[in-house]
């Protein structure tokens, strides 16, 4: 089958180790099913894998891709939860938690095998392309806002880096939930696009907000951390899921303890959280924002778009 794999690591030039070509068919395992992938979306995780983060050399080649929507063997249209081993279904209780493409082959392929328990029916109102955006970026944004952030209608939130997959998901979910949403972005064009999605204000990185917010969503890291700490209200929460620009430094510990700020790490969410997200988007008629759609054989071109950071929304691959 056709698949996009990492064949070597290249921290400075990650696309060098990407190969689209023939890969082995998925292996049959008890309680696992093989899904015909119709669409998958790219995540920054794929770039980290190409850079050699989270994978060992002896695991190569490894099929990339962490989320997908497709068709199960019984003909059901499904969304694939990409976390394996979190609850033991289909792998046994001792299996450590991994994401597809970290231990088992990923979703940037014509077919992918996953535990049957990882499948969730695809909502009829979403295309395969839209549904493929949900299991990683959208689930992470949902967890950051509502589970870790505990936000309720009328609360305020700052989302750093408006254009990313996680950030655009958080903007659309936050606006639908009645939050007062602020964003920052390096690009004026992206700030304007965020305004058109209903945010209260879109600011250049580091600019002071009209008031401090209940929760900050931090995925950028070093480039925005200081601003995040200064923008959250005393007793508020910063939810952190990533550090695209590098690890935060300095941590600003004095401000953290004096203002009693809570810092909460987030890594995606459970299968039940994904089911709740699917219900939320169906009920509120929220559609994932797709930046661009590429064929599997053109994964290199799609990955280049993610690498340049020019995207606004999700970069999607169709098989």
Give the residues lining the site for ligand NAP (CB under 6 A): 43-45, 48, 136-137, 140, 161-167, 185-187, 190, 219-220, 223, 241-245, 266-268, 306, 309, 311
Nearer to ligand NAP, 62 or 162 (CB): 162
**Structure tokens that stand for 55 in this block:** 């994978």
Q: How far is the CB of 312 from ligand NAP (least distance, A)?
A: 8
Locate 271 and state its tokens.
Answer: 């299968």
Determine the Cα–Cα distance for residues 35 and 238; give it in Å rounded to an integer.
37
| Cα–Cα distance, 38 to 133 (Å, whole number) | 12
CB of 219: closest distance to ligand NAP in angstroms? 4
Instruction: Give residues with Cβ within 8 angstroms of 93, minimum separation 6.
Output: none
Query: Using an 8 Å Cβ cutoff, are 20 and 45 in contact?
Result: no
The residue count for the chain: 319
Structure tokens at 84: 């394996």
- Indicate the residue among 137 and 319 with the shorter CB distance to ligand NAP: 137
Cβ 229 to ligand NAP shortest distance, Å:
16
Nearer to ligand NAP by Cβ, of 34 and 187: the residue is 187
Query: Are 236 and 261 in contact, with CB atoms under 8 Å apart?
Result: yes
- Least distance (Å) between residue 303 CB and ligand NAP: 10
The least distance separating ligand NAP from the CB of residue 178, rounded to whole angstroms, comes to: 23
Nearer to ligand NAP, 302 or 306 (CB): 306
In the complex, minimum distance from the CB of residue 71 to ligand NAP, in angstroms, rounded to a whole number = 25
94-111 in b/e form (b: 16+ CB < 10 A) is: eeeebbbbbbbbbbbbbb
Residues 120, 105: Cα–Cα separation, whole Å: 19
Considering the complex, state which of residue 185 and residue 319 has its C-beta at the smaller distance from ligand NAP.
185
């Amino acid at each position: 089958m056709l698949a996009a794999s990492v064949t070597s690591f290249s921290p400075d030039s990650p696309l060098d180790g990407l190969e689209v070509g023939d890969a082995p068919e998925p292996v049959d395992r008890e309680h696992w099913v093989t899904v015909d992938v119709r669409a998958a979306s790219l995540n920054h995780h794929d770039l980290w894998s190409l850079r050699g983060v989270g994978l060992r050399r002896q695991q190569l080649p490894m099929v990339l891709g962490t989320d997908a929507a497709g068709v199960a063997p019984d003909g059901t249209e499904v969304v694939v939860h990409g976390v394996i081993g979190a609850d033991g279904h289909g792998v046994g209780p001792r299996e450590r938690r991994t994401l597809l493409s970290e231990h088992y082959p990923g979703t940037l392929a014509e077919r992918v095998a996953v535990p049957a328990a990882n499948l969730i029916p695809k909502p009829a109102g979403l295309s395969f392309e839209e549904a493929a955006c949900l299991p990683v970026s959208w689930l992470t944004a949902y967890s950051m806002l509502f589970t870790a952030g505990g936000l309720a209608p009328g609360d305020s939130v700052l989302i750093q880096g408006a254009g990313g997959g996680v950030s655009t998901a958080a903007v659309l979910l936050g606006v639908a939930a009645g939050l007062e949403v602020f964003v920052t972005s390096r690009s004026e064009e992206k700030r304007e696009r965020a305004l058109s999605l209903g945010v209260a204000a879109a600011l250049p990185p580091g600019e002071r907000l009209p008031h401090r917010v209940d929760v900050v969503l931090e995925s950028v890291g070093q480039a925005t951390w200081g601003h995040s700490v200064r923008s959250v209200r005393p007793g508020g929460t910063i939810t952190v899921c990533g550090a695209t620009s590098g690890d935060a430094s300095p941590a600003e510990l004095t401000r953290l303890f004096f203002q009693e700020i809570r810092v909460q790490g987030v890594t995606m969410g459970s299968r039940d959280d994904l089911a709740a997200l699917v219900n939320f988007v169906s009920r509120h008629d929220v559609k994932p924002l797709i930046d661009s759609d590429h064929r599997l054989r053109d994964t290199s071109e799609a990955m280049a778009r993610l690498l340049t950071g020019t995207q606004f929304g999700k970069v999607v691959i169709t098989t």
